[in-house]
Every structure is written in C-alpha cells, then in structure tokens.
Amino acid sequence: KKKYIFAPKNGHIFDELSLALFERYANSKKVDYGNPDFVFLLTGLDVTTYHQGRYSTSGLGIAYVSSVCKETFVGLGEDSPGLFTGTHTFTHEAAHILGAYHDGQGPSDASSKHPGAKSCPWGLGNIMSYINNGPSHHQFSKCSLEQMRYVVSLAGPSCWNVQSQGRFVKNVYPGMAVSFEQICSVLPSDKENSTFDYASVLTETCKVKCHFYKFYVSEVFADMGKVKIPYVYTTDALDYMQCGDEEVCIQGVCRKNPFKTKVEAHPTHSEPTQQEPITTTEATETTEATEATRATTTIRTTRRRMFPWRHRTTNAWRSG
C-alpha cells in the first residue's frame, strides 16, 4: 500500500487527501530526491474528487499555487501511460506551482503584490484557461509568464541554483511514438461496444478526427438485424503527429517538419480497421489546489474544473 496517496477504491486516487499525503512524503524524501524545487506525481490511477457534494471519478490534477521551493512544493496529475495524455495537465499544474493563477483571476489576498492574471482574458484559451481555441491552448499568456517570473524572483538564490541537469531524449516527440488508434482509443465513453475505424488530421487546426462505429439492434424493428452506427470524436494532435507529406503538428499548428529526415511514424490518415479500441479511463474533470504567494500568509483553497474531454470547458469550481 502506497504511503503517499489516498486510494479508497481500486484503480482510483482521491485528489485532496493524496496531495496532502504526497506533500508529507515528498518532504521526508527531499534529500533523497536531490532537493528539488518541486515534485510532481504522474499516476495511471483515475484521479477522483468531490464536486458540489458528489463523488466524481473524473479528476485530472491538483497542485498548490506559488509553492515552488516551499514545503508545499507538490502536485499530481493523471496520465494514460505511454499516450502522453497528461502532458497538458502537468504543464497547467506546474505553472500553478510556479505562481500562475488562471487567466482572468488574481490572488485571493487583495493586499498581495502578486500581479495576478486579471488583465488576460479567459476566452483567449491559453494554457491557464480551460477553453481550447487551438494553438493558443499550447501557449502561456503574458500574465502567466509575468506571474511565474514574479514568484520565482521572490524564491531567492537557493531556489535559483541549478542542482542537477536532468535527462533528455533528443529529437523524439509524443506524436512519433503514439499512433492515431492509440490516441483515439481513450475517447469513447462506451469503450466496450466501440470499434475504432480510422482517423485523419485536420491540417487547419491540427485536430485528430477519430472515427468509430458500433452495432445497434432495434427492439422495435428486429427484422432489421444489426445496424452499423458511425460516430466521430475530435482531439488535439500530439506534437509531431503528421498532418501532411512533410508537415507535422507542433503546438497546434501544422508546419514544415524541422528535422531533415522525414518522420515516418504515422500517416495523416489511417485506413479503416476492425480492431477493438484499447480500454482506458476517460477523464472529464480537473482539480487544483491553490495557495497564496510568498508575500502573504499561506492559505489553501481548492478549485475544481469540469470538462467533456481533457481541458475543454469552463468555470465550475468550489472554494473552501
């Protein structure tokens, strides 16, 4: 049994209690971890939460705002192993840790000198918004950058010093390692009865159109037998998924492949197939915990966000 998470049900992890347990665990292991600026837990478990008095299995992530180089230097997020579905969640939550509030919001303490993000419209759909307008959803707003710069500047030299260089894999990106069928497989709500057919990329938006079908037997018109019903889901292309003969999607834009050699991993269109989709767990809600900035007394609150799929809808939260 893991000491750093609260998992009340098999395959699930509860967000707020797990964050508190993980904070305690990470602090106890801080020297072992090399004194990191923050620690983030990516989990294949289904992040769960309470929203409006109800238990929900659709959480995505949670983190403390402005907690970099503090005792509350932790966050966690859900990810489907090997599919990079948690990349945007990690980016969003890491920005909270580094000091960024949601676009359109400011610090809860009116006396704080933290710049906040009230001057950056929520509707532009940058990383710290839930709205996905396309390329802007892969970019930080100027407010996010200003806030992170402010909080990190307050952290001081002990936080700025480079402790380690980390490890990097050069010239390998998610879209080179994940097929269309794999990235599409997490989308259907009825996975057991859904069959992946084919996928294509919309070059204007770098959206992947995932085509599925299921068979329906009418109780009224039984003589019709099984009826094949097609349907489509749309999701963002991963970086370096092909969108043309020599073009790839990079941060939501279809552009010339910057590498000299052509990426051969996946074509822009997959042929219809009869293979069954991979069963995974769909996430429809995200959770975040926030904390006041270094210049104020520490206050923890929790906000929750609702999505039909991966970071796409808006403004349902509870403060406490």
CATH superfamily for domain 12-159: Collagenase (Catalytic Domain) (3.40.390.10)
Would you say 14 and 58 are in contact if contact means Cβ atoms under 8 Å apart? no
C-alpha 64/C-alpha 167 separation (Å) is 25
Binding-site residue numbers for Zn(2+) are 92, 96, 102
Look at residue 55 and give its three-state secondary structure. strand
pLDDT in tens, 100-135: 999 999 887 877 899 999 999 999 999 999 999 889
In the chain, what is the greatest distance between 2 CA atoms, to the nearest angstrom?
76
**pLDDT the model gives residue 181:** 96
Q: Are strands 207-217 and 226-236 parallel, antiparallel or unpaired?
A: antiparallel
Candidates 187, 146, 182; CA nearest to 312 is 187
**pLDDT the model gives residue 298:** 29
Provide the annotated active-site residues. Answer: 93
Task: Read off the pLDDT band of 222 (50, 70, 90).
Answer: low
**pLDDT the model gives residue 279:** 24
pTM: 0.78
Q: Which residues of 104-117 are buried (b: 16+ CB within 10 A; e: fewer)?
A: bbbbbeeebebbbb
- For residue 147, report the phi and psi dihedrals to the nearest 5 degrees: -65, -45
Least confident of 101-105, 162-166, 285-289: 285-289
Chain centroid to Cα 243, Å, comes to: 22
**pLDDT the model gives residue 268:** 52
Mean pLDDT of 178-200: 93
**Domain locations along the chain:** 12-159, 174-256
- What are the residues whose beta carbons fall under 8 Å from the beta carbon of 165, sequence distance 6 or more? none
Task: Read off the pLDDT band of 55 (50, 70, 90).
Answer: confident
